[in-house]
C-alpha cells in the first residue's frame, strides 16, 4: 500500500476499472455482431488512448492513462502478468495428441502453410522493404525474419471458435485444421523465439543476460524440448498427487499460476519474452488428462474475462491508430499475408489428398491470425524492430483475417452456422402465463403470437402445427412440449414460448403436464435447423432442474438468463 | 511492456512467482496442521522478507523484493488489486438475510461483542497508552479510536470455516454466530471507515481529495447506505439481464470486477481505503439470489488462490517480525482483545436467552479475528498511526485467536469435528487388485490389512465384520460395498480399501458386483463417526461416474485424487 500514494492508488484503480469495463462492453458488442471479442477489446483501448480520448480531451487521457510515473509502471506490471497468464491459457488449448492423430495431412498443411507465407514475407521484406517501412540500417535481416514469421503464425483460439460455430470441430476436416494450427503455432513460436533473441541482441539492450544469440537460441530450444517431454511427463505424474493431498482446486490452480510466472521469468531471462515460457508450460499442463475440466474452466474463465481484456485494451493506449495509419503497408501486409497463407494451406491440403472444396476451406480457416499476431507485433514494436504504421498494419491484418475467415469457410462449404434455439427467442414471442388450458388452445395462442409482424397466415400455421401434433404428441417430459411444423415460404426459423401455470397435457412419456411450451416453425427445406432446435431443447430438458427453474421465471429476461447459464455450464463440463 | 525494462520484468515475474509459490505451500502446510491458511501465507512473507531471508542473505532479499523502484511499484500495484478483489469476495460471503432471520439474538451478541472490547480497548489506549506504544503527540484520540475498533472486529470467513468443520453451521447456535459476525463486520467496518478518514486527515497527507473529516464521514455513510439499499436493488434486477444478454459467465464476472475496482477507486478518493468500496459492492452483489453458484465459485477460487496469498505474503515483506517483536504489547493486546470479545459475546448470548454452555461457545467462536484485523493494522501502519511492534502485536493476536477459536468451542460443546472418510484413507490400507473372489474372502483380506501395525486381533475383527454382514449385506450399489463393525477398545475410526477387478457379489440392491470395498471399523461408542463415514461413502456412490472412475485408478494417489475432486465439486454446487 506504500509505494503508491493515496491519489496514485485512486487513479490506478479507476483507470484499470475503466479499461476493463470498456473492454468487456466492446467485446460483448462485437460478439453480438458475430465478430471476435478481441476486436472489441482492442477498440476499447483505441477509444481510451491517444486515438480518440487523447484527441478529444488530452487532459483526461493523460490523467487516467499516464505513460510515465508510478501509475504507468503499476499498470504495465498488471498488464504483463495478464499477457503471461493469457498465454498460459492459450497453451492449455494446444492438444498435442490431436496433432499426432492426423499426422500426415496436418504436417502437409502446416508445412506449406508456413513455408509459403514465410518465403513471400521474407522475400518482400528483404527485396522491397520500402513498401513496408523505413528499415534502420543494419536491421534488415532481423526485420525480414520478423516479418516472415509474423505472416506464418495462425491463431488457434480463433480457429477453434470458428470450427465450433460451424459444427465442424469434430469432423475429419476440422481435426486436420486444428492439428495443423497446433503444429503451426508451436513451430511458429519456436521460430519467433529465435527471432526474438536476435531482436533483443540487435536492440543492444541489456537483454539476454548478456548471452550471445547462439547461447540464447540453444537454451530456448533445449528449454522447449525439455518442457514438452520431461515437463509433460512430470506434470502428468504429479497432478494426481496435488489433487489427492492439497486443497482442491486451490492446489492445482496455485501451482499452475506459480509455474507460469516462473517459466515466464526464465524465458525473459534467457532473452526471449516471458510469454514464451508460460505458453510452453500451458501446453505441458493442458496435455495431462489428470487436469480436471473444472480447474481448466476456472483458469480459462477468469483469465479470459479479466486479464486478456486488460492486455488487449492496453495496446490501444500506446499507439495512435489514426495518425499511424498508412494505407501502403496495410494493403501490402494484408495481401501478402492472405495470399501466402491461403495458397500455402490449400496446396498442403490438396497434396495430402483432400478434395478441392475442403482444401479451400482449410486455406480460409487457417488464415485467421487473431491475437497472436498482435502480441508478436507489440514485442517487435517495443524492441524497435518495426515502426508504428507497420504495427497498425499488422493489427489490421490480424483483425481482418479473423473477421473474414469464418464467412469464407461457410461460403466454400455452403454450410450454415449451428442454430442455438436460445438465439431465436425474444420478449415479443413470450407469454408468462398462458390462458389456454388444452393442447389445441395452447397451439392457437402461441400461433397467434408468432405470426404477429410477419406475413404468415395464422390459420395455416395453426393447422400445420396441429396436423403434426396429431401424428405424434410432442411432450418430451420434464414439463416441456415442443409443437412444431415446417412452413413453406419461411426463410428463418421462428420460436414462440409460453409458460402455463397449471400445465397442459401434451401426452408426455413421463406423464407430467407441460409447463413450458415451445412453438417452433422452420423453413420447409431446412432439415438441419429443425433438428438442431429440437435437439437443443431436448438436451435442456434432460436435466429436470432446468425446466423447473424456467417455469418459475418471473419474466422473459429471467427465463433467458436461466437458459443461457445452463447452456454455458453444459459446455464447460 | 515498456515502462518496465527487460530485467525488471524478469525480477518482477520471478518475485511474484516465488511469493505465490511459497504462500501456497505454507498455506497447505497449515491446512495440514488444521490451522487457517492465512497463517501460512503470512509466514511465507516472513520467510521471504527482512525477518529471515533478509537476515541470511540481504543481497537476495534486496534483489527479489526491492522496497523502491519500478519492481516495487509494480508489485504494490498488483497487491493493491489483490486486496481490493479479496474484499469483494469477503463481502460476497456476508449474507444480510441471515442476519435478519436471527435478529434479536444476533443484535444482542454483536452489540455486547463490540461494545465491551471497544470500551476496554479505548480505555486502555486512552488511559495507559504507554503499555502499548509511544503515541505521537496530537494523535492520542485517533490511536485510541483505531485500537478500540481493531479489537472489536471479528472475521466472518474464519468463523464460517470453524462452524462448517464442527458441523454447527446450520444449527440455531451457528446461525446466531454467523448473523452476529455479519452485523459485527458491517458495523465494525463502518466505524473503521470513520476512523480511517480521521487517520488520513491526521496523516496530513493529500488524502480525502482535500475534504474535511465531516464531509468524508458523511460521504462514507451515504455511500454505504446507498450501496446496501439502492445498489442491492439495482444489482438484483440487472443480474438476469447480464446473464440473458451477455456471454456467460464472462458478462457477470467482468462486471463484478470492474465495479469492485471502480467502487474501490471511489472510496479511496473520498479518503477511506479502496477495500471499503469493493467490500460494500461484494455485499450488494452476493446478496442477490440471481448470482449463480458457478460464478461465485469461479470468483472465489481464483481470488482466494492467487490474489489473497499474494497480499498476505506481501505483509511479511514490510516488517521485520523478530526485530519488531516486543513482548509487552503482544501480551496486553492479546489479553484485552480476548477478554473483551469473549466476555462481551458470552454476555450478549446469555441476555438473549441462550444457555451457559452455548453462550460460552458463542463467545469463543466470535473471538476469531483472522485476516480483517491484519488488514486494519496494515492501513494504520501505512498512515503512521501505529508503529511496527504494535502492528506485530495485532498480527499475532489475530492469528492466535483464529488458531484457538475452534478448539475452545469444541471443548465447551464437547463436540467432535466432522469425520470425512477420505481423511482416513492411506496407501498402506489400500489394495489395487484384490485376490479374494467372494464376500468372506474379501473381508478376510481387508481385515488382515487393517490390523497390521495395530494391537487389534485379526480374527476378532474379521468375525465382527462378518457377523454384521450376515445381518444385512452391505452392497450399496454402483459397485460399492461397505462392510463395517464397531470394535471395542478402538479409539479412532479405521478404513481399508480394496479394488476388485472382477467384482465381488455383496448382494447390492442394483445387482451389480462390488468393485470397491471399504472395510470400516469404528470405536464402540462413537455413533457419529460411523454415521458420517457411511453417509459420506453413500453420497459419493450416488453419482455412478465416480465409483466407476475410482475402480479404474492406477494406484492410491489417483484413487484419492478422484475422491477429493468429487468432494470439492460436490461442495461447490
Q: What mean pLDDT value characterizes chain B?
A: 88
Nearest to B261 among A6, A20, A27 (CB): A20
Q: B390-418: per-residue pLDDT in tens?
A: 999 999 999 899 888 888 888 888 776 77
With beta carbons under 8 A apart, name residues in chain B contacting A253. 301-302, 305-306
Nearest to A298 among B6, B257, B298 (CB): B298
Nearest residue in A to B20, CA atom: A258
Strands (E), A281-366: none
What's B352's DSSP letter? T
Angle at A160 (CA atoms; ends B241, A318), nearest 5 degrees? 75
pLDDT at B573: 45
Look up the ipTM and state it.
0.85
Q: Which of A236, A245, A290, A484 is catalytic?
A: A484
End-to-end CA distance of chain A: 40
Nearest residue in B to A69, CA atom: B3
With beta carbons under 8 A apart, name residues in chain A contacting B239. 561
Q: Which of B42, B83, B20 is nearest to B312 (CA)?
A: B42
Q: Hey, what's the torsion of the CAs at A71, A74, A75, A76, to 10 degrees?
A: 120
What's A418's DSSP letter? P
* CB-based contact B262 A18, cutoff 8 Å: yes
* B129 CB burial (10 A radius; 0-12, 13-18, 19+): middle
pLDDT at B201 over 80: no
pLDDT at B209: 54
Strands A494-504 and A430-431: parallel
* A245 classed as catalytic: no
pLDDT at B454 over 80: yes
Peptide bond into A87 cis (omega under 30): no
pLDDT at A320: 92
pTM: 0.85
pLDDT at A561: 86
* CB-based contact B305 A248, cutoff 8 Å: no
d(CA B447, CA B240): 55
Nearest to B560 among A244, A268, A568 (CB): A244
Instruction: Provide the pLDDT confidence category of residue B564 given band limits of 50, 70 and 90.
Output: confident
pLDDT at B349 over 60: yes
Beta bridge mates, A522: A486
Question: Under a CB-based contact definition with an 8 Å cutoff, are residues B73 and A73 in contact?
Answer: yes
B contact test, residue of A206, A244, A255 with most B CBs within 10 A: A244
* CB-based contact A1 B76, cutoff 8 Å: yes
pLDDT at B208: 46
Nearest to B16 among A3, A12, A261 (CB): A261
d(CA B469, CA B487): 14
* CB-based contact A16 B249, cutoff 8 Å: no
B77-103: average pLDDT: 86
What's B573's DSSP letter? -
* CB-based contact A77 B80, cutoff 8 Å: no
Nearest to A80 among B9, B255, B304 (CB): B9
Angle at B166 (CA atoms; ends B164, B171), nearest 5 degrees? 75
In order, the DSSP letters of A450-503 are HHTTSS--HHHHHHHHHHHHHHS--EEETTEE--EEEETT--S-EEEEEEEEEE
What's A66's DSSP letter? -
Q: B484-498: per-residue pLDDT in tens?
A: 999 988 888 999 999
Q: Which helix (H) or strand (E) holds A74?
A: helix A70-92
Q: Which of B365, B366, B388 is nearest to B378 (CA)?
A: B388
pLDDT at B236 over 60: yes
Peptide bond into B359 cis (omega under 30): no
d(CA A39, CA B549): 42
Instruction: Provide the pLDDT confidence category of residue B448 given band limits of 50, 70 and 90.
Output: very high
Nearest residue in B to A561, CA atom: B244
Least confident of A202-206, A556-560, B66-70, B326-330: A202-206
With beta carbons under 8 A apart, name residues in chain B contacting A24. 250-251, 254-255, 258
d(CA A573, CA A563): 16
In order, the DSSP letters of B90-110 are HHHT--HHHHHHTHHHHHHHH
If DSSP codes are grouped into helix, strand and coil, which group holds residue A515? Answer: strand
With beta carbons under 8 A apart, name residues in chain A contacting B70. 73
Angle at A237 (CA atoms; ends A234, A243), nearest 5 degrees? 125
With beta carbons under 8 A apart, name residues in chain B contacting A556. 244
pLDDT at A209: 54
Angle at A257 (CA atoms; ends A252, A262), nearest 5 degrees? 125
If DSSP codes are grouped into helix, strand and coil, which group holds residue A247? Answer: coil
Beta bridge mates, A520: A484, A495
* CB-based contact A80 B12, cutoff 8 Å: yes
Angle at A338 (CA atoms; ends A387, A159), nearest 5 degrees? 100
Cα-flanking dihedrals φ and ψ of residue A47, to 5°?
Answer: -65, -45
pLDDT at B479 over 70: yes
Mean pLDDT by 10 residues, chain A (573 residues): 79 97 94 85 93 92 92 94 92 80 85 94 90 82 90 80 77 85 84 81 53 80 91 92 84 94 93 87 90 87 92 91 92 94 94 91 89 85 89 92 87 79 89 92 93 88 91 88 90 92 89 92 84 87 86 89 82 52
Strands B484-487 and B514-523: parallel
With beta carbons under 8 A apart, name residues in chain A contacting B245. 557, 560
pLDDT at A205: 47
A contact test, residue of B1, B18, B263 with most A CBs within 10 A: B1
Amino acid at each position: 500500500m506504500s509505494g503508491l500514494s493515496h491519489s496514485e492508488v485512486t487513479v490506478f484503480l479507476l483507470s484499470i476499472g475503466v479499461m476493463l469495463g470498456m473492454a468487456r462492453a466492446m467485446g460483448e458488442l462485437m460478439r453480438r455482431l458475430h465478430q471476435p471479442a478481441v476486436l472489441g477489446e482492442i477498440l476499447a483501448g483505441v477509444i481510451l488512448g491517444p486515438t480518440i480520448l487523447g484527441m478529444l480531451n488530452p487532459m483526461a487521457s493523460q490523467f487516467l492513462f499516464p505513460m510515465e510515473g508510478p501509475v504507468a509502471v503499476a499498470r504495465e506490471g498488471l498488464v504483463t502478468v495478464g499477457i503471461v497468464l493469457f498465454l498460459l491459457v492459450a497453451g492449455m488449448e494446444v492438444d498435442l495428441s490431436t496433432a499426432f492423430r492426423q499426422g500426415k495431412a496436418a504436417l502437409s498443411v502446416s508445412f506449406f502453410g508456413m513455408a509459403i507465407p514465410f518465403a513471400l514475407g521474407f522475400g518482400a521484406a528483404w527485396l522491397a522493404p520500402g513498401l513496408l517501412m523505413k528499415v534502420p540500417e543494419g536491421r534488415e535481416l532481423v526485420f525480414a525474419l520478423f516479418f516472415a514469421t509474423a505472416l506464418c503464425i495462425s491463431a488457434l483460439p480463433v480457429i477453434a471458435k470458428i470450427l465450433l460455430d460451424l459444427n465442424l470441430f469434430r469432423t475429419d476436416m476440422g481435426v486436420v485444421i486444428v492439428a495443423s494450427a497446433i503444429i503451426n503455432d508451436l513451430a511458429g513460436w519456436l521460430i519467433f523465439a529465435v527471432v526474438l533473441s536476435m531482436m533483443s541482441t540487435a536492440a543492444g539492450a541489456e537483454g539476454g543476460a548478456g548471452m550471445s544469440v547462439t547461447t540464447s537460441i540453444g537454451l530456448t530450444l533445449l528449454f522447449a524440448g525439455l518442457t514438452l517431454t520431461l515437463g509433460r511427463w512430470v506434470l502428468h505424474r504429479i497432478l494426481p498427487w496435488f489433487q489427492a493431498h492439497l486443497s482442491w482446486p486451490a492446489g492445482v490452480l496455485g501451482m499452475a499460476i506459480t509455474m507460469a510466472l516462473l517459466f515466464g521469468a526464465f524465458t525473459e531471462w534467457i532473452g526471449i519474452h516471458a510469454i514464451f515460457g508460460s505458453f510452453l508450460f500451458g501446453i505441458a499442463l493442458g496435455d495431462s488428462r489428470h487436469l480436471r475440466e473444472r480447474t481448466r474452466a476456472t483458469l480459462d474463465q477468469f483469465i479470459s474475462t479479466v486479464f486478456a481484456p486488460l492486455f488487449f485494451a492496453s495496446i490501444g493506449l500506446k499507439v495512435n491508430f489514426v495518425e499511424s495509419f498508412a494505407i501502403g503497408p496495410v494493403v501490402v501486409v494484408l495481401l501478402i499475408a492472405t495470399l501466402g497463407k491461403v495458397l500455402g494451406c490449400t496446396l498442403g491440403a490438396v497434396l495430402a489428398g483432400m478434395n478441392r472444396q475442403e482444401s479451400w476451406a482449410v486455406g480460409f480457416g487457417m488464415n485467421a491470425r487473431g491475437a497472436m499476431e498482435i502480441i508478436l507485433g507489440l514485442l517487435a514494436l517495443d524492441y524497435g524492430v518495426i515502426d508504428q504504421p507497420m504495427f497498425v498494419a499488422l493489427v489490421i491484418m490480424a483483425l481482418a483475417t479473423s473477421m473474414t475467415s469464418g464467412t469464407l469457410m461457410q461460403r466454400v462449404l455452403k454450410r450454415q452456422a449451428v442454430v442455438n434455439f436460445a438465439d431465436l427467442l425474444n420478449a415479443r414471442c413470450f407469454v408468462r402465463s398462458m390462458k389456454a388450458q388444452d393442447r389445441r388452445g395452447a397451439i392457437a395462442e402461441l400461433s397467434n403470437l408468432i405470426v404477429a409482424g410477419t406475413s404468415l397466415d395464422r390459420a395455416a400455421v395453426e393447422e400445420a402445427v396441429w396436423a403434426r401434433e396429431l401424428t405424434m404428441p410432442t411432450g418430451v417430459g420434464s414439463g416441456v412440449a415442443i409443437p412444431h411444423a415446417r412452413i413453406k415460404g419461411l426463410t428463418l426459423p421462428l420460436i414462440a414460448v409460453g409458460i402455463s401455470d397449471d400445465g397442459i397435457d401434451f401426452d408426455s412419456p413421463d406423464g407430467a403436464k407441460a409447463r413450458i411450451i415451445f412453438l417452433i416453425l422452420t423453413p420447409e427445406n431446412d432439415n438441419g435447423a429443425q433438428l438442431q432446435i429440437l435437439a437443443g431443447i431436448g438436451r435442456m430438458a434432460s436435466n429436470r432442474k432446468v425446466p423447473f427453474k424456467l417455469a418459475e421465471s418471473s419474466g422473459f429476461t429471467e427465463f433467458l438468463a436461466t437458459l443461457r447459464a445452463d447452456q454455458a455450464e453444459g459446455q464447460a463440463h
